[in-house]
Structures are given as C-alpha cells and as structure tokens.
Structure 1
C-alpha cells in the first residue's frame, strides 16, 4: 500500500475509531477519567477534521465524524454518571499525559485555523471551473493546510479536485485510470479578463503516482489580470485552446484539467503572484478570493448548471 494512503487511513479512519471505542472500553473508573478521554478525543477529532483530506473517502465525513463523536460521548456518559468524580490519588500522574496530548492537538488545530485568513490585499477572481461540486485539497495561509505555503510565489496556491455524488474525488482510493478521477477532462475557465502572456502545451499526462519534475507546471496558461499574474497548471495534453498574446474574456475556456507536470493525480493548480512575468515561480504570491470567498483545505464550491 502507498505510504500516503496508509497515513490517511491511519489518521482519518483507525485513530478516530480508537477514540470512539475508547469512550466505552475499558469503562473509566470515574467521571474525570471519562472527561479526559472526551477532551483528548475531541481535540484530535477537531484537528483531523480541519487538516484531513476528506475527498479521498467522502467530504461528508468531515461533518459526520464530529457529530458521531459528540453522540457517542453523550451515550457513554450515561453508563457512569453515578460514579464518583475522581478516584485517582494523583490527578497529574493519572491524567497528565492525556491532558498534554489534548493540548498538543488543540494547539495544532489553532495553528491550522490561523491559515483561514490573510493580511495582504487579495485579487478577486471567478471560480475557474464549470458546473459541478469541487473540493480544495491544498489551500490557505498555513503550511498545515497548504503544502505550497512555504514557496513565496505559491504561498496562496490552491489545488482543486472535483467530487462525485458520494463526495469523493475518484472511483476508489487510488484508481490507476485518469478518467476515474472526477475532475479529469473538465473545462478550465478563465477566472478574469486579461492577456494570455504565456502558454505551454504538448507535455504528456502522467500515470497516477508518477510526476514530471522537469516541467513542474506541465501544460499551463499564465494570465495577466491587472497587476496580478494567474497560473493555471497541470492541464491535459493538447487541450489548451488559447494562444500566447491573446486577450481572453472572463469565463472563456482555456483548456481541460489533466495530470501533466509535477502532479501525481488529476487536479487544477491555480495561484496568483505579483512581481514576476512569465516565470510562475518568480514573484510574490497574493491571496485569491472567488466571489469574495477565501478558500482553504476542505472548502467546497458548488457551481450550478447555467440557466438555459
């Protein structure tokens, strides 16, 4: 099994199941022991709800898991509400480790939530995909929720996938066919009216889990929209439908989502920067909003079908 999948299943399935079962077995000796288990479990559930990639399983689990934990905590308390508050001779010795781990995950959650905002002036764009439901896999202003944040030009970059009817990005955890990914082949729309200052096409789409680090952006378009430059990357080979130097209109089709460049599975990468020109890795990244909304990991966007 792929290491990343093993980590995902451990952190988003096995550990949440452990915290749910721990509410029941073994039965706590007192109500304080129950409270410490609830505190530890709640802090971990909050952490993984914020930083987890729920599109691998189902985006609905991001909301369902905390609700299930709250329900199980309430039901488990009914079994021991008649027990004394505390039987431990030393609270620190008995519950110190549990309290420390709860604080640790609470601090990580707070750090991740700090990435839900920004201070710089943002560039407001239209969402660059057509009708459907989409999920942000990487996004925000903190490294815990955005792997791009350490790169100055890409620090507010987004990686976007599409969701199927079950809230998953693909048919299975890691299917090998590109067409099994909901976003593959979707039309990429221009998020602004501007000038196509650079295009690149002709790079083959990667097989799943393979990447092309020699051409990181793969097939891509760079738009000049006012003072900002917008990179839309990892498009399908042969799909780009605009030419360099062409003025593009808001909503105009630029190409289709593929898996070219430094991309291990189909997704759309988009980031905005200032201070650079055709070099998408040179410049300073700026926040993007979409119809005024700042997107972070776990954000979902539903684009309705156009009215006839």
Structure 2
C-alpha cells in the first residue's frame, strides 16, 4: 500500500474512529475528563475537515463525521452527568497533554484557514469544465491545502477532479483503470475569451501512480486572458482542438481531461500567472475567481 493512501486512511478513517471510541472507552472518571476528550476530538475533526482529501472516500463524510461525533459526545455525557466536575488534584498533569494537542490541532486549522483568502488582484474566469459536480483537490493560498503554493508561478493553482453521485472522485479509492475516474475524458472549456498562445500535444497518459517528470504539464494549452496567462494541463493525448495563435471564446471546447505529464491520476490542473509568457513556470502566480468565488481545497462546484 502506498504511503499517501496509508496517511489518508489513518487521518480520515482510523483517527476519527479512535476519537469516537474514546468518548466511551475507557469511561471518563469525571465531567472534565469527558469535556477534554470532546474538545480534543472537535479540534481534530475541524482540522481534518479543512485539510482532508474527502474525494478519495466521500465528500458526504465531511458533514456526517462531525454530526456523528456530536451525537456520540452528547450520549457519552449521559454516563458522566452525575459525576463530579473533577476528581483530580493535579488537573494540568492529568489533562495537560490532551489540552496541548487540542490547541495544536486548532492552530493547524487556523493556519489552513489562512489560505482561504488572497491579497493580490484576482483574474475572473469561467469554470473550465462541463456539466457535473467538481471538487478542488489542491487550491488556496496556504501550503497545507495547496502544495502548489510553494511554487512562485503556481501559488494559486487548482487541481480539479469530478465527483460521482456518492461524492467520490472514482469507482474505488485508487482504481487502476483511467476510465474509473469521473473526470477522465471530460471536455475542457476555455475559461475566457482570448488567444491560445501555445499548445503541446503528443504525450501519452500515465498509468495510475506513475508520473512523467520530463513533460511536467503533459499536453497543455496556454491562454492569454487579458494581461494574465492561464495554463490548462495534463490533457488527454490527441484531444487538443486548437493551435497556437488561434482566437478562443469563453466556453469553447479546447481539449479533454487526461493523465499526461507529472500527474499520478486524472485531473485538470490550471493556474494563472503574469509575465513568463510561454514559460508557464516563470511567471508570477495570481489568484483566480469564478463568479467571484475563490476556490480552495474541499470546494465543490456544480455546473448544471
């Protein structure tokens, strides 16, 4: 089992189950013990709700798990409501570690939430995919929710996948068939009216979990959208429908989602930058908004 999958299962399945069971076993000695467990668990659930990749399992769990935790906490309180507030004569020694961990996860949550805004002037675009429900796997202005943010030109990049009716990006956690990923082969639309200043085709799709670092963007299109340049990357081989220098209109089909380049599974990568012109790695990344909405990890977009 690959390390990212182990981390995902640990943080989004095993630890939530632990916090649910910990409300009951071992039974708290007093009401303060119950409260500390609830606060610690609540801080963890807040953290994982923000930074988790829920499209691997189901986006329904983002709401379901906190609700289950809240109900479980209330039921667990019924067992200790008649107990004294605290039986410990050394509260910090008894509950200090739990309190410290709660503060730790609360701080991590605050840090991730700092990525929900931006200071630069954003470029307003149209969402580049067809009808369906989409999930932002990487996005925002903090590295904890967008690993692209460390790259100057990709600071506000988005990695976009599509969701099935169960809120998952694929039929299974990590299927090996590209067609099992909902976003695969979806039509990619132009997010603006402008010029396709550069295109690149001919790079084959990768197998799942394999990447092509020699052609990082794979098959791609660079658009001139006013003063900004927009990269649409990891497209399917042979699907690009425009050539460099062609005028494009917003909503025009430009290609189809693939898994080419430095991509371990099908998704659409896009980022906007100033300068750099044809070199998508040399410009200065700028925020993108869609109907004035700044998208971050966990955001969903439904196109009717």
User: TM-score band (shorter)?
Assistant: over 0.9
Runs (4 or more) in structure 1 with deviation over 2 Å come to: none
What residue in structure 2 maps to residue 76 of structure 1? 76
SS at match of 1:209: coil
How far the C-alpha of 1:27 sits from its partner, in A, is: 0.5
CA-based RMSD of the aligned residues comes to: 0.4
**2:95 matches 1:95:** yes
Q: In structure 2, how many angstroms separate the alpha carbons of the residues matched to 1:275 and 1:293?
A: 24
Per-residue deviation at 1:79? 0.9
Q: What are the equivalent positions in structure 2 for 1:251-262 lying under 5 Å apart? A: 251-262=251-262
Quote the residue 1:155 is aligned against: 155
1:114-145 Cα distance to aligned partner (Å, 9 max, x none): 00000110000000000000000000000000
CA distance in 2, matches of 1:275, 1:192: 18
What residue in structure 2 maps to residue 182 of structure 1?
182
Residues of 2 paired with 1:261 and 1:232: CA distance? 12
Where do 1:211-290 residues align within 5 Å? 211-290=211-290
CA distance in 1, matches of 2:302, 2:133: 4
1:194 paired with 2:205, answer no
Deviations 1:197-228 (A, max 9, x none): 10000001000000000100000000001100
**Aligned pairs (5 A) from 1:138-153:** 138-153=138-153
2:8 alignment partner in structure 1: 8
Q: What is the deviation of 1:2?
A: 1.2
Cα deviation, residue 89, structure 1? 1.2
Following superposition of structure 1 onto structure 2, how do residues 91-170 of structure 1 map, counting pairs within 5 Å?
A: 91-170=91-170
Q: Which residue of 2 aligns with 1:42?
A: 42
Q: Deviations 1:51-93 (Å, cap 9, x if unpaired)?
A: 0000000011111111111111111101110000000110010
Separation in 1, partners of 2:177, 2:155: 30
Q: Distance in 2 between matches of 1:127 and 1:250?
A: 10
2:249 and 2:72 map into 1 onto residues whose CA distance is 52
Superposition TM-score, scaled by structure 2 size: 1.00
How far, CA to CA, are the matches of 1:71 and 1:213 in structure 2? 47
Aligned equivalents of 1:141, 1:65: Cα separation in 2: 26
Per the TM alignment, residue 269 of structure 1 is displaced from its structure 2 partner at its CA by 0.2
Where does the alignment leave 5 or more consecutive residues of structure 2 unmatched?
A: none
CA distance in structure 2 between the aligned counterparts of 1:189 and 1:247, rounded to whole angstroms: 13
Query: Quick one: distance in 1 between partners of 2:223 and 2:283?
Result: 14
User: Partners in 2 of 1:183 and 1:85 — Cα distance?
Assistant: 53
